[in-house]
Amino acid sequence: MKSNSRNLVMAAMFGGRRGGRPAVGNPTSIACHGLMERAKVSFPEAHLNARAMAELALAGHEEVGFDTVMPEYSVVQEAAALGAQVDWGDRDKMPDVKEFPNADFSDIVVPPDFLEKPSCRVVLDALSILRRHVGGRVAIIGKVMGPWTMSYHMAGTQNFLLAVGMGESDKVTKMLRQLMPVTVAFINAQFAAGADIVVLADHATRNLVGPYHYQEYLLPIHQEITAQVGGPLILHVCGNCSDRLELFAESGVDAYHFEWQVDAREAVRRIGDRVSLAGNINNPQVLLQGRPEDVHHQARYAIAAGVHLIGPECAIPLSTPIENLKAIVAAAREGW
Amino acid sequence: MSDHLDRIKAAVIGGRHGEIKALVQQALEAGADPSTLINDALIAAMDVVGTDFGAGRIFVPEMLVSAVTMKAGLDVVKPRLAAGESRSRGTVVMATVKGDLHDIGKNLVSMMLEGAGFKVMDLGVDLSVEKLVDQVRTIQPDILGLSALLTTTMPEMQKVIGELQRQGLRDRVKVLVGGAPVDPGFAEKIGADGYGANAAEAVALARRIVDAKG
Ligand code: B12
């Protein structure tokens, strides 16, 4: 916890009391076809229109019972504002970057009106709408990509990772440093717009890079980011990151959102005294293909392990059944 | 001679892309047999790299650099292969299926197959069933390699196999599948001819298929 005025006062208000039951939250998207039908909005509209974006987020609280609302479903809002060509997809397909503007590692030029570009403005406006509707009652979560993920989008993932492998640390660091102010500015703007918490998503996952890459390139940058922003931050890095939990705990974030592949008990044991843990119900086997009983089982395991905020491990597949999301809420309502 | 081969192997494993061309050149000048050099140094090195990656000792950046290093070495050896030896071992068409943009794994498989002497036509990502079947008809490859990283795009693989069947092309091409969510059970269920968990397995499979053909 960063000792700024707001955090100190909030901590003083609750004095470490944990309430009557565990909280259910979604640091990443729980948009799915069932929720789209109930909110009467669809993709790509919900990426591009603030009202649609907010409606879909609200459905997560009103229709499913989550304690959070999180209105950003894609991972490319920043990249689009920085000039990457984005295909916004459709009801069945998440947006993707089509062309990488800085594949040659040329300088990234951050437009001075970056926060006013439509793909950023829409998120800020959606957060403000949510604030007006549920402020003070439901936790409002914003989401911002970190410099590592943005580099995948600006340079192309393979291209970026090749530069890392080649040891071209000047090139890599320059790109990360040029993107860092984007992350900081967008996080601060999301707090100002009404977010209670912001997720910092930065995919330095074990499926791609080693803990030593995180430590060398990204940890110092995460430490600078967390020093420069205000409120509570949740770090999201998916994949099996058991080999770098302690490094994440050093980044200065308040919580880590993690996958089922990392055992909840182990995560709590290793870093639970320094950061809160959010997650970690399995998406592909359990939320997508499992039965509500399976979801219930994993949710109770996570609660018993001491995970602080129960929810899916990552952005859920679009065809996830709503019943399975509701099973998380039901498990949490059984209390501690 | 094995000294030269060891040094080349170590350079590929270590991703020392700046040194590889000179090392290969030296080995050739010292009289190394080009195809031994390819099999026992360049490809053997990538087998080690693939194993290290599978075991979590190295990660994608290192694997990409090793692959680039292997290719640079290969470029030096290739012109030295005798006419018979330079004949390709077979043709492979590689692609990521419709709706899927993940291509790092597929690219690694393509590079390794190329290293192993296959002629590889990499069609890229987001390939529709129609396009893939058309390409199989035109290129007439020995092997079609399909990659999918999303549970939502895995069914595309089955559609491709179904369409090959419908168009009477299924007997002419072996279909290999791969990608993180794919497993041997799924491969069998959809009627694929093989599944590879990593690039090294992909090469072994492709070799087996081509050798069986004679
Ligand atoms: C890198 C990555 C991306 C990059 C892709 C960049 C690129 N150019 O490829 C970006 C950021 C663009 C991306 C986007 C998305 N991604 Co992604 N991504 C990954 C990640 C982290 C790593 C994949 C990778 O490259 N691995 C390294 C390579 C070397 O391994 P590999 O691909 O498995 O390949 C090896 C073997 O499988 C095999 N192989 C591969 N192909 C073939 C083919 C044959 C024939 C054979 C024999 C063998 C073989 O050999 C390879 C070498 O050893 C995975 C996490 C994971 N667990 O895999 C998620 C992951 C695959 N992504 C996921 C998701 C959900 C997405 C998005 C929908 C995110 C979003 N919300 O927008 C989009 C979808 C975009 C699209 N339409 O495809 C999910 C998929 C969940 C699921 N099971 O369906 C994963 C699993 C992450 C997660 N835990 O949720 N992603």
Q: How far is the CA of B59 from the centre of ligand 1 (A)?
A: 14
ipTM for the assembly: 0.91
Mean pLDDT for the stretch of residues A191-210: 96
| Domain range list for chain B | 2-80, 91-213
- pLDDT per position as a tens digit, B157-192: 999 999 999 999 999 999 999 999 899 999 999 999
CA distance A203 to chain B (A): 13
Q: What is residue B35's predicted lDDT score, i.e. its pLDDT?
A: 85
Selected residue of B12, B64, B106, B111 to mutate for chain A interface (largest A Cβ count, 10 A): B64
Q: How far is the CA of A6 from the centre of ligand 1 (A)?
A: 39
CA distance B168 to chain A (A): 31
Q: How confident is the model at residue B47 (pLDDT cuts 50, 70, 90)?
A: confident
Burial of B159 (0-12, 13-18, 19+ CB in 10 A): middle
Percent of chain A predicted with pLDDT > 90: 96
Selected residue of A92, A161, A316 to mutate for chain B interface (largest B Cβ count, 10 A): A161
- Token pair for residue A5? 């005025």
Mean pLDDT for the stretch of residues A40-68: 98
CB contact under 8 A, B60 and A209: yes
Chain B residues whose beta carbon lies within 8 Å of the beta carbon of residue A319: 152
Q: Which candidate from B62, B104, B181 shows the least CB-CB separation from A158?
A: B104
Mean pLDDT for the stretch of residues A63-84: 97
Ligand 1 neighbourhood includes B177 CB (under 6 angstroms):
yes
Q: What is residue B152's predicted lDDT score, i.e. its pLDDT?
A: 84
Residue B84 pLDDT greater than 70, yes or no: no
Q: Which CATH class is domain B91-213?
A: alpha beta
- Kindly report the backbone phi and psi dihedral angles of residue B94, in degrees, each rounded to the nearest multiple of 5, phi listed first: -115, 145
- Taking an 8 Å Cβ-Cβ cutoff, which residues of chain A contact chain B? 92-93, 96, 157-158, 161-162, 164-166, 206-210, 213, 243, 284, 288, 317-319
- pLDDT per position as a tens digit, B90-134: 999 999 999 999 999 999 899 889 888 899 999 999 999 999 999
Query: Quick one: which H or E segment has residue B177?
Result: strand B174-178
Q: How far is the CA of A137 from the centre of ligand 1 (A)?
A: 37
- Average pLDDT along chain A: 97
Residue B85 pLDDT greater than 80, yes or no: no
Chain B residues whose beta carbon lies within 8 Å of the beta carbon of residue A209: 59-61
Give domain A5-13+23-282+303-318's CATH number out of 3.30.56.10, 3.30.300.30, 3.20.20.210, 3.40.640.10.
Answer: 3.20.20.210
Do the strands A96-99 and A85-87 form a parallel or antiparallel pair, or are they unpaired? antiparallel
Q: How far is the CA of A107 from the centre of ligand 1 (A)?
A: 27
**Taking the CA atoms of chain B, what radius of gyration do you get in angstroms?**
18
Give Cβ neighbours of residue B73 (< 8 Å, ≥ 6 apart): B8, B11, B12, B20, B21, B23, B24, B41, B42
CA distance B214 to chain A (A): 36
- pLDDT per position as a tens digit, A105-128: 999 999 999 999 999 999 999 999
Q: What is the pTM of this model?
A: 0.91
Residue B82 pLDDT greater than 80, yes or no: no
CB contact under 8 A, A165 and B181: no
Q: How confident is the model at residue B51 (pLDDT cuts 50, 70, 90)?
A: confident
Chain B residues whose beta carbon lies within 8 Å of the beta carbon of residue A243: 56
Q: What is the DSSP string of A157-199?
A: HHHHHHHHHTT-HHHHHHHHHHHHHHHHHHHHHHHHHT-SEEE
Q: Which fold would CATH assign to domain B2-80?
A: 1.10.1240
CB contact under 8 A, A213 and B61: yes
Ligand 1 neighbourhood includes B51 CB (under 6 angstroms):
no
* More confident call, B123 vs B82: B123
How far, in Å, CA of A246 to CA of A244, rounded? 6
CB contact under 8 A, A165 and B56: no
Q: How far is the CA of A228 from the centre of ligand 1 (A)?
A: 32
Selected residue of A162, A243, A320 to mutate for chain B interface (largest B Cβ count, 10 A): A162
- pLDDT per position as a tens digit, A259-284: 999 999 999 999 999 999 999 999 98
Percent of chain A predicted with pLDDT > 70: 100
Chain A residues whose beta carbon lies within 8 Å of the beta carbon of residue B99: 93
Mean pLDDT for the stretch of residues A68-97: 96
Q: How far is CA B66 from CA A63, A210, A303, in A?
A: 50, 16, 43
CB contact under 8 A, A317 and B152: yes
- pLDDT per position as a tens digit, A299-329: 999 999 999 999 999 999 999 999 999 999 9
Torsional class of A136: left (φ above 0), alpha (ψ -120 to 50), beta (otherwise): left
- Token pair for residue B123? 């069609």
- Average pLDDT along chain B: 92
Q: How far is CA B40 from CA A62, A126, B189, in A?
A: 63, 59, 36
Residue B65 pLDDT greater than 70, yes or no: yes
| Domain range list for chain A | 5-13+23-282+303-318
CA distance A89 to chain B (A): 10
How far, in Å, CA of B148 to CA of A286, rounded? 20
Residue A205 pLDDT greater than 70, yes or no: yes
Percent of chain B predicted with pLDDT > 90: 71
CB contact under 8 A, B104 and A166: no
Ligand 1 neighbourhood includes B153 CB (under 6 angstroms):
no
